[in-house]
Structure 1
């Protein structure tokens, strides 16, 4: 399993925890047929799964075990809710990649605010036993408006590749009624935990150049047929100075964190999403700040998705039916 080095600047916060909050912006841009884009504020939790109870104990209005204005609720996230989240994530990565993570698991996600949550993507970063390298990522995507989930198990590339070129893998779920299924995702991210953390996801047109690609959503590392190539790390990274070789410049302050997920084609870029975030300690002051300044953050995410879907429809963007309606045998989750 390849690895992503943990940044030297990352350590515990003043609370003594690895867990923290990230505050910033998320932007989406559609780059085909109907041009469209938007950005909005966002606040996310970056949680060490071994620290949950200790971290949430800092504020009486945050909880991991009871209804509260801000809540970590186990069944909102990956796997069987009767199984501890840390255990479920390790089991999935071991099953898909053949090796169980030996170190901590840290999660970037939306929490449940005022009884509502929606996570277009949650990212689980799995570290080595020394807690110095990210060895794997579990990227769990939820679609709109069906709220179906699929999880992609991905071996982490070297840090320069993770940030500049990323991990390319086949899209396996119908995510939006305004986007095709026959696309590749490209996930890029800077080292997790830094004051500045950037995650980007592009959607690009399906590539057919990789043989023996493994299925990141399946139960084993088995090759997929050509029409469903999945989960490959790009081996065609451009050299220094080539298009796409450098990380995208940030357009916000110096303490940004960014996340990106793209759909890709060799002509090629269809859609791009980018999170640029600022690190805050997970302490009582920051938790109060979230309550006062991000009163309905999960509701804002859902409302923004539906509002911009309406704008796309009014602009005349082509509508794609869910594959289970066009292919009745397709299972929930729209794996075609």
Structure 2
């Protein structure tokens, strides 16, 4: 089974105007979308489009209407990637726990006919209900097709402590195997502003592992939102400049394809 869990930690380092470090435990679900029917029959503690201890809802992603795989293929087709080139889709995301989730970022890994990584779609959400998508080509790395190296302009108000229209994202995403690494840098020119990195190890997606996860971290997804507001308070007390939310540059939950090879 390709679907699994990745358990590890996320680290954020703010470099300017003052250094600020945070580190939290995280658990991601890596879901092969073709295996969803199998997961619903084999797992008691994981449900799809239904409430449960852990659950995954298709309307938590993309435009929230219809089967996720079909909507993603349509989205890619609209942005110049023929749907017939994609043979398998896996999603790295937080699942709902006690029917609650907030996903700062999820990642769709799309594979071609040779089961090589074709493209990654990064789905970024903010706490204001806005959503933006970045299409990142797997051939952006000249040395390793299992590593995505791409850059894109920052186009959405993610944090009140960074300007919406300032800077670019730099993505470094390795195909998940026994270990998971996702690194995103926000930079203004040559000056790094924020570095965010996820490190995690693969564990089986089973009822036993889900029960263990729930016992160790009973409010893991709620902690994501709590941590965002706690760290915002810390930044405010440090005197970091505050930027009010601007009007969306495009309609909410806009779909976008903005990437450039490094």
Q: TM-score by structure 1 length?
A: 0.70
For the 8 Å contact 1:323–1:330, the answer to whether it is kept is no
Counterpart among 266, 278, 301 of residue 201 in structure 2: 278
For the 8 Å contact 1:64–1:72, the answer to whether it is kept is yes
Q: Does 1:35 align with 2:25?
A: no
CA distance in 2, matches of 1:281, 1:26: 20
Worse overlay, 96-105 or 293-302 = 96-105
For the 8 Å contact 1:29–1:38, the answer to whether it is kept is yes
CA distance in 2, matches of 1:53, 1:164: 29
Q: Deviations over 1:280-335 (max 9, x none)?
A: 011222122222222111101111111000000010000011121xxx88644699
Q: How many residues align?
A: 252
Q: Does 1:187 align with 2:110?
A: no
Counterpart among 113, 135, 139 of residue 153 in structure 1: 135
SS in 1 for 2:51: coil
For the 8 Å contact 1:59–1:287, the answer to whether it is kept is no
Shift of 1:98: 3.4
Q: Hey, which of these two has a bigger chunk of strand by percent?
A: 2
SS in 1 for 2:175: coil
Aligned to 2:259: none
For the 8 Å contact 1:174–1:333, the answer to whether it is kept is no
For the 8 Å contact 1:57–1:63, the answer to whether it is kept is no
CA distance in 1, matches of 2:53, 2:148: 39
Q: Deviations over 1:137-186 (max 9, x none)?
A: 11110013x12111112222237467888211111111110012221111
Aligned to 1:176: 159
Aligned to 1:313: 236
Cα distance, 1:201–1:296 mapped onto 2, change above 3 Å: same
Query: Which ranges in structure 1 are unaligned for 5 or more consecutive residues?
Result: 1-16, 206-264
Q: How does 1:20-99 map to 2 (within 5 A)?
A: 20-81=4-65, 83-99=66-82
CA distance in 2, matches of 1:120, 1:303: 13
Max Rg structure? 1
Cα distance, 1:195–1:329 mapped onto 2, change above 3 Å: closer
For the 8 Å contact 1:71–1:111, the answer to whether it is kept is yes
CA distance in 1, matches of 2:14, 2:229: 15
Shift of 1:96: 1.4
SS in 1 for 2:221: helix
Q: How does 1:1-336 map to 2 (within 5 A)?
A: 17-81=1-65, 83-100=66-83, 101-131=85-115, 133-144=116-127, 146-156=128-138, 157-158=140-141, 160=143, 166-181=149-164, 182-192=166-176, 194-205=177-188, 265-266=189-190, 268-324=191-247, 331-332=251-252
For the 8 Å contact 1:162–1:190, the answer to whether it is kept is no
For the 8 Å contact 1:163–1:188, the answer to whether it is kept is no
Cα distance, 1:120–1:162 mapped onto 2, change above 3 Å: farther
SS in 2 for 1:115: coil
Query: Which ranges in structure 2 are unaligned for 5 or more consecutive residues?
Result: 257-262
Q: Deviations over 1:192-228 (max 9, x none)?
A: 2x111100010011xxxxxxxxxxxxxxxxxxxxxxx
